[in-house]
Amino acid sequence: MKRISIAIDGLSASGKSTLAQGIAKALNYLYVDTGAMYRAVALFALREKLIDREGQLDEEGMKASLQRVYLTFRFNPGTGRGEICLNGRNVEKEIRSHEVSKHVSVVARVPEVREKLVLAQQRMGSHGGVVMDGRDIGTVVLPEAEVKFFMTADIEARGKRRHKELVRRGRSVSFGDVLDNLRSRDRIDSTRDHSPLVQADDAIVIDNSDLTIEEQFDHMMACVQQVLNA
């Protein structure tokens, strides 16, 4: 059986990672959460005080410190997935905080940050057998991916999902703050100069505002099987 590359792009909280993990598990493929990599760099920037109170990033400082950012994924047999490590320390929990979500987009639009992470992602995807999710996977990271999905959902549905996830993790954040954060990230992620979030021409669009996870999974797996059987 050939081992293909599957790219899943889409808006924040559009359900990409849940589906990407499910598909990777079903096919016994590697799952790469590229958002976690940008989040880990944002965490680094916050720790290094490269982001001020107004949310402004010291871009020069960020570029100069990039060589001190070393990212790896460590497999957690309990969850069955790789967890992100920043300079050898597992930061999977810290990167999901609202604080990191608030500042990640300004870090992700720095071209030097993107170049470094894209290279690492391309290395991870170079042998196929991978499901990678993010914003620019089908367009920039793995433009030759055999199957590309673009996931979207209306802002209310995404806000509810993200809010529920944060509450489940014990974070106290209002629904309004979550919506504001999603709107602001949609805007920055879609309008930045360097590899903005755009739908690849050959991507299959999944609008999951009214679809259950099972419905999405079945539909996406059917698309993948078609390519595998071709």
CB neighbour list of residue 145: distance below 8 Å, 6 or more residues apart:
4, 5, 6, 7, 125, 132, 137, 138
CB of 139 to ligand DC, least distance (A): 10
CB nearer to ligand DC: give 35 or 82.
Answer: 35
CB of 80 to ligand DC, least distance (A): 19
| DSSP track, 1-45 | ----EEEEEESTTSSHHHHHHHHHHHHT-EEEEHHHHHHHHHHHH
Q: What is the phi/psi pair of residue 184, to 5°?
A: -65, -40
CB nearer to ligand DC: give 38 or 149.
Answer: 38
Closest CA to 7 of 173, 86, 157, 124: 124
CB nearer to ligand DC: give 116 or 185.
Answer: 185
Q: What's the rounded Cα separation, in Å, for the pair 74 and 90?
A: 8
The number of residues that bind ligand DC (CB under 6 A) is 13
CB nearer to ligand DC: give 144 or 218.
Answer: 144
CB nearer to ligand DC: give 110 or 224.
Answer: 110
Q: Which residue has the tokens 């367009």?
A: 139
Q: Which of residues 7-46 bind ligand DC (CB under 6 A)?
A: 12, 34-35, 38-39
Q: Which of residues 90-149 bind ligand DC (CB under 6 A)?
A: 104-105, 108, 134-136
CB of 200 to ligand DC, least distance (A): 13
CB atoms within 10 A of CB 156: 12
CB of 229 to ligand DC, least distance (A): 29
Q: What's the rounded Cα separation, in Å, for the pair 185 and 183?
A: 6
Which positions touch ligand DC (CB under 6 A)? 12, 34-35, 38-39, 104-105, 108, 134-136, 185, 189
